[in-house]
Chains A and B, each alone.
Chain A
Amino acid sequence: MIAFKTIKFKLTLWYVVIVGIILSSFSFFLYFTLADSLYKGVDNKIKTMAEIIASSTNRPFGAGPSIADLDRIMTERFGIRPLGRFVQILDESGRVDGSSTNLRDAQIPISVQTLKAASKGQTTFETVQVMGKYPLRVVTMPIMVDTRMVGIVQVGNSLEGVEEALRQLLLILLIAVPAALLITSAGGLFLANKALRPVDEITQIARRIGSGDLNQRIRIKRVNDELGRLAATFNEMIAKLEGSFRQVKRFTADASHELKTPLTILRGEVEVGLKKRRALKEYQRILNSNLEEINRMSRIVEDLLILSRADMGELTMEREETELSALAREVWEDLQILARKKKVQLKFVGDGSTRVEGDPLFLRQLILNLTENGLKYTPPGGEVALKVEGDRDQGVARILVSDTGVGIAPKDQKRVFDRFFRADKARSRETGGTGLGLSICQWIAQAHEGRIAVRSTVGKGSTFTVTLPLKN
């Protein structure tokens, strides 16, 4: 039953119905036009013959003598052999005066009406049944002398040829039309199959993708038809899916790798430590190192939690009026101790009104992450500048964090916002970075309809710029 609901079947059915209607109307038209023209042909022939006979019989026949050899006379006079045509001459009262030999003893009947019409000078066509199974087409025409009817000529022609031809045609049409429809349905099914095969292929591939194999693609043979476009769209969709799946997979792998390193250290140090009795100092060293790793793991887990909740859209941003330069000044004050410890000069510049709408906690974290990063990657004696400026003309506030640190190679500049990307893995571990700080900064900026960008020269330093829309 399912087979009857398929597009393939419906298409074929429609195709057959339409071709059937066209073929039947054509056959109908052909049959009736041909029949009409064949009957008219017979009428014309017998009328012509009757006219010829009528125009010349008034004397030779009209005198009354029996004309037993009408055939001979006709052959002599008109060069016409009345083959298959029957001729009968009547006098003005309707009595048979003479007939062609092929009529033998039979008579072409004449009705009173016809006789009356003939007496009025009118010609009548009739179809009568005389002999055999085929009807006879008869024309009855008065023979006129001046305006008086002196006799009647009747010419008949068997309709055998016509009826036989029409019967043949009907037979041919009755066989040919269903045969043509049968062939049409087979062809239609074939065409529908051919046209819809890509659909089956798409279905199968979709099923395989459903079972988790995202490497599958549909082979596109014809690029520009509807199915080609469908396949291309489908392929694009799979590619996007595959991309985001790969991203999630990589992120998970990266996250587990990041967590495995501190775990390896914890487990290894503890196991080696427990192998034998050790000095108190040794135990203290191991515990201190373990604490460091535990702290690192907590930071990674916290950062991961922020990012995954951000991804799920679970983090809600407060929307309150916030003065960026005030936030930045707080951060600057908080980081002075760290800067002094690292012997790096930390400067602050606030310029203009920097009122934005946003979440002060997240904005503070954004400024803190960027400034801390700057301090981490700047060697002693260097300088980190935190600048916040309002740009009324462009309607934006900017946070600029410049350092005189190691800088970022051009090939890495795009990737620094990627999760777990580190331009310098060893240094990042030593400074306690999680590899997620800049990803979080980027998310905070974007959640405030802002942007974050970096410009950097290796060996000279980097400048991170966050642009946020100003509140009017």
Chain B
Amino acid sequence: MRILVVEDEKKVASFLKKGLEEEYYAVDCAFDGEEALFMVEANEYDLVLLDIMLPKIDGLEVLKGVRDKGLTFPVLMLTAKDSVEDVVRGLDAGGDDYLTKPFAFAELLARVRALLRRQEREAAGELRVADLILDPATHTVSREGQEIDLTAKEYALLEYLMRHVNRVVTRTMISEHVWDYHFDPMTNVIDVYVNHLRNKIELDSSRRLIHTIRGVGYMLQDKG
């Protein structure tokens, strides 16, 4: 899952990026409204954290611009303004949720998970494909009751595939939602990670879950 953090206060942006990356999200930062509008057009984000008071272009204007462009990713607004009018204005401008500063980081993470879940219209809790289980809250993965140790990137890749079960996922989609701004499209990094992931979740045993669709990408399937 790829997240854009729009925040002019460098230290806030920095701890948000660090904290979210430790939760296996791919995170980019924009420090003003102009940069934010450029980034949301250039990349595919699953969620945007948006500060309201921004230099150059105000956060609410950014939000309107985003929605005018037909971009529908969830937007979680982060701001020090906590009056009812401010909250209403923010939500009416196209925001999906509102968190006032200073906030508890655990709450921010829970809201991020809730918004991503809502986007995919999924029930809360674990993701299941056949006997493979992934818990987004604890970042644990298991198959046949056996816990599997994954690296951050492997985990993010698996979560993305599981959220798009039985659908073909192209390499471009993976690069846009699992990797951040610094991804180099000329390498075969994705294929390498998919192979690592296969080796870990398909063990010696059982059925194959990750199928290669030649010339297109990959698909996670829950039946034979």
Say yes or no: is B15 at the interface (Cβ < 8 Å to chain A). yes
Instruction: Write the chain B residue with the least CB distance to A256.
Output: B80
Say yes or no: is B55 at the interface (Cβ < 8 Å to chain A). yes
Mark out the residues of chain A between 289 and 320 whose CB falls within 8 Å of any chain B CB in the assembled complex.
289, 293
Q: Please report the C-alpha to C-alpha distance between residue A276 and residue B21 in the assembled complex, in whole angstroms.
A: 13
Contacts of A425 in B (CB 8 A): 8, 55
Contacts of B81 in A (CB 8 A): 253, 257
Q: Please report the C-alpha to C-alpha distance between residue A346 and residue B196 in the assembled complex, in whole angstroms.
A: 62
Q: Contact flags (1/0) for A190-222 with B, using CB distance below 8 Å?
A: 000000000000000000000000000000000
A426 B55 Cβ-Cβ under 8 A: yes
Contacts of B16 in A (CB 8 A): 268
Say yes or no: is A263 at the interface (Cβ < 8 Å to chain B). yes
B80 A267 Cβ-Cβ under 8 A: no
Say yes or no: is A269 at the interface (Cβ < 8 Å to chain B). yes
Contacts of A260 in B (CB 8 A): 80, 101-102
Say yes or no: is B105 at the interface (Cβ < 8 Å to chain A). yes
Instruction: Write the chain A residue with the least CB distance to B16.
Output: A268
Contacts of A280 in B (CB 8 A): none
Main secondary structure on chain A at its contact with chain B?
A: helix
Contacts of B102 in A (CB 8 A): 260, 263-264, 266-268
B104 A264 Cβ-Cβ under 8 A: no
Contacts of B104 in A (CB 8 A): 267, 271
Q: Please report the C-alpha to C-alpha distance between residue A419 and residue B46 in the assembled complex, in whole angstroms.
A: 39
Nearest CB of chain B from residue A296's CB, rounded to whole Å? 11
The number of chain B residues with a CB under 8 A from chain A is 20
A268 B12 Cβ-Cβ under 8 A: yes
Contacts of B15 in A (CB 8 A): 265, 268-269, 272
B103 A264 Cβ-Cβ under 8 A: yes
Q: Please report the C-alpha to C-alpha distance between residue A263 and residue B11 in the assembled complex, in whole angstroms.
A: 11
Say yes or no: is A341 at the interface (Cβ < 8 Å to chain B). no
Q: Please report the C-alpha to C-alpha distance between residue A260 and residue B11 in the assembled complex, in whole angstroms.
A: 13
Q: Please report the C-alpha to C-alpha distance between residue A426 and residue B10 in the assembled complex, in whole angstroms.
A: 9
Contacts of B144 in A (CB 8 A): none
Contacts of B12 in A (CB 8 A): 261, 264-265, 268
Instruction: Write the chain B residue with the least CB distance to A263.
Output: B102
Mark out the residues of chain B between 5 and 38 whose CB falls within 8 Å of any chain A CB in the assembled complex.
8-9, 11-12, 15-16, 18-19, 22
Of A261, A264, A265, A269, the most chain B CB neighbours within 10 A belong to A264
Contacts of A272 in B (CB 8 A): 15, 18-19, 22, 105
Identify which of B9, B11, B19, B101 contacts A275 (C-beta below 8 A): B19
Contacts of A81 in B (CB 8 A): none
Contacts of B101 in A (CB 8 A): 260-261, 263-264
Contacts of B11 in A (CB 8 A): 265, 269, 289, 293
Q: Please report the C-alpha to C-alpha distance between residue A268 and residue B20 in the assembled complex, in whole angstroms.
A: 11
Nearest CB of chain A from residue B96's CB, rounded to whole Å? 21
Say yes or no: is B42 at the interface (Cβ < 8 Å to chain A). no
Q: Please report the C-alpha to C-alpha distance between residue A268 and residue B17 in the assembled complex, in whole angstroms.
A: 11
Say yes or no: is B106 at the interface (Cβ < 8 Å to chain A). yes
A264 B80 Cβ-Cβ under 8 A: yes
B19 A271 Cβ-Cβ under 8 A: yes
Q: Please report the C-alpha to C-alpha distance between residue A404 and residue B106 in the assembled complex, in whole angstroms.
A: 47
Say yes or no: is A429 at the interface (Cβ < 8 Å to chain B). yes
Mark out the residues of chain B between 63 and 111 whose CB falls within 8 Å of any chain A CB in the assembled complex.
80-81, 83, 101-106
Identify which of B8, B22, B80, B106 contacts A426 (C-beta below 8 A): B8
Main secondary structure on chain B at its contact with chain A?
A: loop
Nearest CB of chain B from residue A274's CB, rounded to whole Å? 9
A-B contact number at CB 8 A = 59
Of B8, B9, B11, B22, the most chain A CB neighbours within 10 A belong to B11
Instruction: Write the chain A residue with the least CB distance to B8.
Output: A426
B22 A268 Cβ-Cβ under 8 A: no
Mark out the residues of chain B between 167 and 182 whose CB falls within 8 Å of any chain A CB in the assembled complex.
none
Identify which of A257, A266, A268 contacts B80 (C-beta below 8 A): A257
Contacts of A263 in B (CB 8 A): 101-102
Nearest CB of chain B from residue A261's CB, rounded to whole Å? 6
Q: Please report the C-alpha to C-alpha distance between residue A269 and residue B15 in the assembled complex, in whole angstroms.
A: 6
Q: Please report the C-alpha to C-alpha distance between residue A429 and residue B106 in the assembled complex, in whole angstroms.
A: 27
Known A-B contacts A261-B101, A263-B101, A426-B55; the reply to A271 vs B106 at CB < 8 A is yes
A268 B9 Cβ-Cβ under 8 A: no
Identify which of B80, B83, B106 contacts A261 (C-beta below 8 A): B80
Q: Please report the C-alpha to C-alpha distance between residue A21 and residue B141 in the assembled complex, in whole angstroms.
A: 105
Q: Please report the C-alpha to C-alpha distance between residue A180 and residue B52 in the assembled complex, in whole angstroms.
A: 72
Q: Contact flags (1/0) for A234-274 with B, using CB distance below 8 Å?
A: 00000000000000000001001100110111111101100
B19 A268 Cβ-Cβ under 8 A: yes
Contacts of B105 in A (CB 8 A): 267-268, 271-272, 275
Nearest CB of chain B from residue A283's CB, rounded to whole Å? 14
Contacts of A275 in B (CB 8 A): 19, 22, 105
Q: Please report the C-alpha to C-alpha distance between residue A275 and residue B105 in the assembled complex, in whole angstroms.
A: 10
Contacts of B53 in A (CB 8 A): 257
Instruction: Write the chain B residue with the least CB distance to A272.
Output: B19
Nearest CB of chain B from residue A360's CB, rounded to whole Å? 37
Of B18, B103, B105, B106, the most chain A CB neighbours within 10 A belong to B105
Q: Please report the C-alpha to C-alpha distance between residue A425 and residue B31 in the assembled complex, in whole angstroms.
A: 12
Nearest CB of chain A from residue B54's CB, rounded to whole Å? 10
Q: Please report the C-alpha to C-alpha distance between residue A261 and residue B15 in the assembled complex, in whole angstroms.
A: 13
Nearest CB of chain A from residue B175's CB, rounded to whole Å? 26
Nearest CB of chain A from residue B153's CB, rounded to whole Å? 18
18 other contacts beyond A253-B81, A261-B80, A268-B105, with CB at 8 A cut-off? Answer: A253-B83, A260-B80, A260-B101, A261-B12, A263-B101, A264-B102, A265-B9, A265-B12, A265-B15, A266-B102, A269-B11, A271-B104, A272-B22, A272-B105, A275-B19, A425-B55, A426-B8, A426-B55
Instruction: Pull 19 A–B residue pairs with CB atoms less than 8 Å apart, ordered by A.
Output: A257-B80, A260-B80, A261-B9, A263-B101, A263-B102, A264-B80, A265-B11, A265-B15, A267-B103, A267-B104, A267-B105, A268-B16, A268-B103, A269-B15, A271-B104, A272-B15, A293-B11, A425-B8, A425-B55
What 5 pairs between A and B have smallest CB-CB spacing?
Answer: A271-B105, A272-B19, A264-B102, A264-B101, A260-B80
